Amino acid sequence: MNLSGRIALVTGGSRGIGRAIVCSLAEAGAKVAFVYQSNKEAAEKLAAEQAALGHEVLALQADVSKKAEADAIVEQVLAKWEKIDILVNNAGIIRDKPILAMSSDDWQQVIDTNLTSVFNFCQAVVRPMMSARYGRIVNMSSVSADFSNPGQANYAASKAGIEGFSRCMATEYAKRGITVNCVAPGFIETDMTVAVVNAAGDKIKNSIPVRRLGKPDDIANAVLFFVSEQASYITGQILKVDGGLTLGGMG
């Protein structure tokens, strides 16, 4: 994939899946700005590593759930590079609890970080993308949108919302040269999933037809495809990258 000359913006980019996406886009030739919320050390380390490889990568701090901060990030990227060709909404958190034990804050924080942030950044980038008559947007969903685990009502709702939002946006802006797609990971080896994986032991791996957990690069490769010219005729789609997990359900 050749993304030379392209400008990309990635939310939740300092670690895990987001970090792999940033590295993949930069390696393909794009200039990449990524957003982190609190882990400044990890963000600066990633930017420095990419600079050492000759890649232009910019780390920006923001609370993605706040519209004003999303707007400010987009303005900074436009001021530096004049355009945004690619947006990857990857920022996400979990606050797993049974519904009766779930506080209003547990609910709202997940909805705001996972779902509202997608609206915030999509709305902020769509006008310059419309002017350019070009855009590639990839929103990170999850297999939990369709195959929910107990204790994940807030997370599943946020991811199902992302998919519905993405289909609507794809319809609205297809004629302006903007594609909008989702990648829905299964169980991926990241900091966010380590507790769940460790608690379940081999049960999770045995439920996956390919008999392994996914790697962040597996997701980054799917994102790279969606933002490439090879996917220019694909929009409004949800690609499950789960090793076949959802073929037989999650029960």
Q: pLDDT tens digits, residue range 76-91?
A: 999 999 999 999 999 9
Number of compact structural domains in the chain: 1
The answer as to whether 249 is a domain residue is no
The answer as to whether 251 is a domain residue is no
The answer as to whether 37 is a domain residue is yes
> Which has the closest alpha carbon to 46: 62, 29, 25?
25
- Determine how many CB atoms are found less than 10 A away from the CB of residue 189: 15
Residue 56: the pLDDT is: 98
> Which has the closest alpha carbon to 58: 93, 123, 14?
14
Scanning the chain, the segments in alpha helix (DSSP H) are: 16-27, 40-52, 67-81, 104-110, 117-132, 153-173, 194-200, 202-207, 216-227
The answer as to whether 250 is a domain residue is no
Residue 248: the pLDDT is: 73
Which CATH number do you get for residue 209? 3.40.50.720
Residue 251: the pLDDT is: 44
Give yes or no: 155 in active site.
yes
Residue 206: the pLDDT is: 86
Catalytic residue (one of 134, 155, 173, 233): 155
In eight-state DSSP terms, residue 43 is H
Residue 193: the pLDDT is: 66
Residue 147: the pLDDT is: 83
Residues of the domain holding 197? 7-242
Query: What does the pLDDT look like over 207-236, one tens digit per residue?
Result: 899 999 999 999 999 999 999 999 999 999
The answer as to whether 247 is a domain residue is no
Residue 129: the pLDDT is: 98
The answer as to whether 33 is a domain residue is yes
Residue 198: the pLDDT is: 63
List Cβ neighbours of 196 (8 Å cut-off, separation of 6 or more). 187, 204
pLDDT-flagged residues of the chain (< 50): 249-251
Residue 250: the pLDDT is: 46
User: pTM of the entire structure?
Assistant: 0.94
> Which has the closest alpha carbon to 138: 64, 74, 224, 77?
224
Q: Find out whether 182 and 240 touch, Cβ atoms under 8 Å.
A: no
The answer as to whether 248 is a domain residue is no
The answer as to whether 234 is a domain residue is yes
C-alpha torsion angle, residues 181, 195, 205, 107 (rounded to 10): -40
